[in-house]
């Protein structure tokens, strides 16, 4: 695991996968219970990966999407980034057991430690609601910067209905900051935010989780390249 954490951000500047650090060891159990593999499968399909593609997963957590991608596409280059060292340690172990080479970096979505135009695809799964508004915009600007001109962003996050409810999701169990940030996900708001950042977005695909509500998946390309 490579340390790419900016000096200006402390460990407390991010919300971990399940909202609290002590819950991180349970992340993969939650992944299975909610049936998140169906979201990841849909994301991989939308990305239309080809051999030699360089793929970044921002907020990769314990590496489930990277592992699923690597199992299906042996000849893509995989890079994952997350600020949570515990999640990255798990991701590293899982990649090793699966016989996959995945570069894992510790860092933040708002300051991607990569060269301009260095990725063909950027994934982000269930990470957006961990960010405040300024950070969401910073993430999208960073994704634009690191994507090649014909690159594609595939981003998944919860979809709230017009009343601000995530069907079946006990938002009461979420930490206040995250619950608040989730309110930005009503209807088509995520796709609109991505379009406002200069991407051309395709209609959002929706996946219903086994337990809980719906996840919207947005496929977006840089303007003029869709």
Ligand X SMILES: C[S@@+](CC[C@H](N)C(=O)[O-])C[C@H]1O[C@@H](n2cnc3c(N)ncnc32)[C@H](O)[C@@H]1O
Task: Give yes or no for residue 151 binding ligand X (CB under 6 A).
Answer: no
- Which has the closest alpha carbon to 78: 66, 86, 68, 90? 66
**Helices 85-97 and 27-34: crossing angle, nearest 10°?**
70
Pick one of 76, 87, 140, 207: the residue that binds ligand X (CB under 6 A): 87
Task: Give yes or no for residue 64 binding ligand X (CB under 6 A).
Answer: yes
Q: Exposed (0-12), middle (13-18) or buried (19+): which is 77, by Cβ within 10 Å? A: middle
Task: Give yes or no for residue 16 binding ligand X (CB under 6 A).
Answer: yes
Task: Give yes or no for residue 127 binding ligand X (CB under 6 A).
Answer: yes
Q: In the stretch 20-59, what mask flags binding to ligand X with x, by CB under 6 A? A: -----------x----x---------------------xx
- Residue 101 tokens read as 């080479």
Task: Give yes or no for residue 108 binding ligand X (CB under 6 A).
Answer: yes
- Which has the closest alpha carbon to 1: 89, 121, 72, 68? 89
Closest to ligand X by CB, 64 vs 214, is 64
Residue with tokens 């900051």: 177
Closest to ligand X by CB, 87 vs 182, is 87
Task: Give yes or no for residue 209 binding ligand X (CB under 6 A).
Answer: no
Task: Give yes or no for residue 169 binding ligand X (CB under 6 A).
Answer: no
Which residue of the chain is nearest ligand X when measured via CB? 61
Backbone angles phi, psi at 161, to 5 degrees: -80, 175
Task: Give yes or no for residue 109 binding ligand X (CB under 6 A).
Answer: yes
């Amino acid at each position: 695991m490579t340390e790419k954490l900016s000096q200006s951000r402390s460990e407390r500047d991010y919300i971990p996968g399940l909202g609290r650090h002590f819950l991180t060891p349970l992340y993969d159990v939650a992944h299975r219970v909610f049936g998140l593999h169906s979201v990841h499968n849909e994301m991989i399909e939308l990305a239309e990966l080809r051999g030699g593609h360089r793929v970044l997963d921002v907020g990769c957590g314990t590496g489930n999407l990277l592992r699923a991608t690597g199992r299906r596409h042996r000849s893509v280059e995989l890079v994952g980034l997350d600020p949570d060292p515990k999640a990255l340690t798990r991701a590293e172990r899982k990649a090793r057991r699966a016989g996959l080479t995945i570069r894992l970096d510790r860092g933040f979505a708002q300051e991607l430690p990569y060269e301009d135009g260095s990725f063909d695809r950027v994934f982000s799964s269930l990470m957006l609601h961990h960010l405040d508004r300024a950070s969401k915009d910073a993430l999208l600007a960073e994704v634009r910067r690191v994507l090649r001109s014909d690159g594609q962003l595939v981003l998944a996050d919860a979809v709230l209905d017009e009343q601000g409810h995530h069907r079946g999701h006990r938002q009461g169990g979420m930490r206040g900051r995250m619950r608040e940030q989730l309110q930005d996900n009503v209807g088509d708001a995520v796709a609109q935010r991505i379009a406002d950042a200069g991407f051309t977005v395709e209609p959002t695909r929706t996946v219903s989780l086994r337990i809980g509500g719906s996840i919207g998946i947005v496929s977006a390309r840089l303007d003029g390249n869709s």
